[in-house]
Structure 1
Amino acid sequence: MKQLIAITTPTCFPGEGKIITSLFEAGLERLHLRKPDAGKEIIAALIHQIPDQFYSRIVIHDHFSLASEYALGGVHLNRRNPNAPDHFTGSISRSCHSIQELDTWKSLDYLFLSPIFQSISKEGYGNGFPWHELEEATERGFINPKVFALGGIDASHIRQLKGLGFGGAVVLGALWGKQPGESDSREIMERFNQLITAIKES
């Protein structure tokens, strides 16, 4: 694996922009800004809390017009927003929940496959793929460097996925914890360092 991608918590919290900035400064290459119930103004306010030198590392899941407005790195397609803006030049990604979907959307810049393990942040959102199915998907080229593992990913699981062909891992709960706040900055950075170390070793 080569890259760690972080997804924001679904809701905003005090100090979030400052912590995101610290993560970028520590080496986070890509952050998916996902706040499905937040309005455009709230998303824009969060972006404003982050230095513009990091905007190219941010991918948004909603309010795609902000991607061009702030020269963000990409958009992530979903049921709410199934199409990228016209003439968009950033990356276009999408989440997949079956091996077949990986083939259907292989023309996009990169894909998430989930859930791989029992979700840390979503109770009841469990393991969706038998291990042999993942191995077969790797052998057939469906899992490749453009596909990222999502769902229950922590440092130990990153090491477990070594050899399966994923380009990297996507984390949410393993990074942010249950209910993050500004006072949790040190713990979040410690977890980030553990995750980055696991990526380097996998």
Structure 2
Amino acid sequence: MLIVITSEEFVEDEINIIKRLLKEGLTTLHVRKPFFSSEEMKRWLFNFHAEEHQQMMLHQHHFLAEDFQLKGIHLKEEHRKSIKGKEQDFLEKIKSQGWVLSTSFHELQEVENQTLFDYAFLSPVFTSISKHNYEGKKFSVQQNKRPVIALGGIKTENIEKAYQLGYQGVAVLGCVWHQENVITSFKNIKKEYKRVYQ
């Protein structure tokens, strides 16, 4: 699984760039806009067609996933805490909507115990491109039974290493959005991802 996470900062022409990424074969876009109100998120989502919505995982304002028939939702740690003790009811609701459910962890022990989610991010695997002083820990997940996606410092040069560490895919942010040409950067990542994983 190759995932792109949106930038939380302003990106010029972002909507058209995302449409291009989806045309170039991106199948999962994580929409992470922590500073958006629900109204701003709604307006942002209105820029896309139904088939594009079906490739999107939403990090905030989860109720909009139903309104726009998105691919699924991503739970942060605070969301996981809010459903503690009610996991089964929550999961049944998610499945009844046909959504994919993901989350993220920062410790290997946490991800080893996860059973609720379709997949989980683990970070930082490598030293982050978008966050300063965020050192990579090179976690190995070869023994993990559920899909784990490598996040943190992913670039073309270390996708093969992520595969060797047992990850079922990679999620990228900085190596796409912090480059001069986002589309070219994505194409290079995708080419290396296909070489390693397929």
TM above 0.5: yes
Task: Give 1:32 deviation, angstroms.
Answer: 0.3
Structure 1 equivalent of residue 93 of structure 2: 87
Q: Deviations over 1:89-114 (max 9, x none)?
A: 30111101111111222331000010
Task: Give 1:70 deviation, angstroms.
Answer: 0.4
**Range that drifts further, 44-53 or 146-155:** 44-53
Q: State which of 3, 6, 10 in structure 1 corresponds to 2:4.
A: 6
- Tell me the amino acid that sits aligned with residue 157 of structure 1: N
Q: So what's the TM-score if we normalise by structure 2?
A: 0.86
Work out the CA distance in 2 between the residues paired with 1:17 and 1:50.
Answer: 8
Q: State which of 127, 142, 153 in structure 2 corresponds to 1:118.
A: 127
Q: Deviations over 1:85-140 (max 9, x none)?
A: 872230111101111111222331000010001100000111134xxx51xx41xx
Is the Cα–Cα contact under 8 Å of residues 111 and 147 in structure 1 kept in the other structure? yes
Task: Give 1:167 deviation, angstroms.
Answer: 1.0
Structure 1 equivalent of residue 73 of structure 2: 75
CA gap of 1:145–1:192, structure 2 versus 1, over 3 A, is farther
- Tell me the amino acid that sits aligned with residue 197 of structure 1: K
Q: State which of 15, 25, 28 in structure 1 corresponds to 2:26.
A: 28
- Tell me the amino acid that sits aligned with residue 183 of structure 2: M
Q: Which runs of 4+ in 1 moved over 4 A?
A: 83-86
Work out the CA distance in 2 between the residues paired with 1:194 and 1:106.
Answer: 33
- Report the count of equivalent residues: 185
Structure 1 equivalent of residue 48 of structure 2: 50
Q: Using CA pairs below 8 Å that are at least 6 residues apart, which structure has the higher relative contact order?
A: 1
Determine whether 1:103 maps to 2:112. Answer: yes
- Tell me the amino acid that sits aligned with residue 104 of structure 2: S
Work out the CA distance in 1 between the residues paired with 2:64 and 2:103.
Answer: 18
Q: Deviations over 1:3-43 (max 9, x none)?
A: 21000001343321111111001100100000111111111
Work out the CA distance in 2 between the residues paired with 1:11 and 1:67.
Answer: 22
CA gap of 1:13–1:163, structure 2 versus 1, over 3 A, is closer
Gaps of 5+ in 2: 84-89
Q: What percent identity do the matched residue pairs reach?
A: 31
Q: State which of 166, 188, 194 in structure 2 corresponds to 1:194.
A: 188
SS at match of 1:120: coil
Work out the CA distance in 1 between the residues paired with 2:173 and 2:148.
Answer: 17
- Tell me the amino acid that sits aligned with residue 116 of structure 1: V
Structure 2 equivalent of residue 173 of structure 1: 174
Two-structure CA RMSD over aligned residues (Å): 1.9
Work out the CA distance in 2 between the residues paired with 1:177 and 1:11.
Answer: 11
- Tell me the amino acid that sits aligned with residue 133 of structure 2: G
Is the Cα–Cα contact under 8 Å of residues 30 and 57 in structure 1 kept in the other structure? yes
Determine whether 1:41 maps to 2:39. Answer: yes
Q: So what's the TM-score if we normalise by structure 1?
A: 0.85
Is the Cα–Cα contact under 8 Å of residues 163 and 169 in structure 2 kept in the other structure? no
